[in-house]
Amino acid sequence: MALNSLEALFEDTLRDMYYAEKKLTRILPKMAKKASSEELADAFTSHAEETRTQVGRIEEVFSLLEKTPRAKKCEALEGLSKESEHVMEEAEADSVMDVGLIASAQAVEHYEIARYGTLIAWATEMGLTQAAELLEASLAEEKAADEKLSSLAETANPAAERREAA
């Protein structure tokens, strides 16, 4: 697809995020299964549910553009999900698994925050107010998920565990 306008770039990036969010609906439940802390597992499970809503919001944005929702492979999320699979396969100690999962998940949240921030700026620029509002709702969820993970990282930290034991 030729990218000769902001509209085209917006649609291309929306298709990228459609792919990413759909893939995340499958990855987050796997991460929930691997988490040893119940709170972390719950955080992944509830974000998986939010992610299904986010997929629906992207479909709504496509429909506002009068376009059929079509996903385009997001190379960034492919890479990030490979990294998280590596952690899921290789981490042995529970606390190491949990901090590894948190780190992988935060890399994903930061990618999503960057993408939604850009999409919102472009939608606003093009006067697509309703689309911008839908994307804002997802951005707020990504930011909240990231903050929740930051707070869980403080208790999941294996170094902190060692300090308590000492």
Task: Kindly list the residues in this chain that would bind Fe ion in the complex (CB under 5 A).
Answer: 16, 21, 51, 54, 74, 76, 112, 142
Q: Which is nearer to Fe ion, 95 or 148 (CB)?
A: 148
CB 93 within 8 A of CB 87: no
CA–CA dist 22, 36 (Å, integer): 25
The CA-CA-CA angle for residues 130, 133, 134, to 5°, reads 90
Question: Which residue, 70 or 86, has its beta carbon nearer to Zn ion?
Answer: 86
Binding-site partner at residue 86 among Fe ion, Zn ion, none, CB < 5 to 8 Å by type: Zn ion
| Rounded Cα distance, 155 and 99, in Å | 9
* Residue type present at position 30: K
Q: Among 52, 73, 86, 110, indicate the residue that binds Zn ion (CB under 5 A).
A: 86
Helix, coil or strand: residue 128: coil
Of 56 and 162, the one with the shorter C-beta distance to Fe ion is 56
Q: How far apart are CA 137 and CA 79, in angstroms?
A: 26
Per CB under 5 A, the segment of 63-71, 79-87, 106-114, 153-161 that binds Zn ion is 79-87
Pick between residue 83 and residue 94 the one whose CB is nearest to Zn ion.
Answer: 83
Kindly state the smallest distance separating residue 48's Cβ from Fe ion, in Å.
Answer: 9
Interacting residue ranges for Zn ion, rule: CB under 5 A: 86
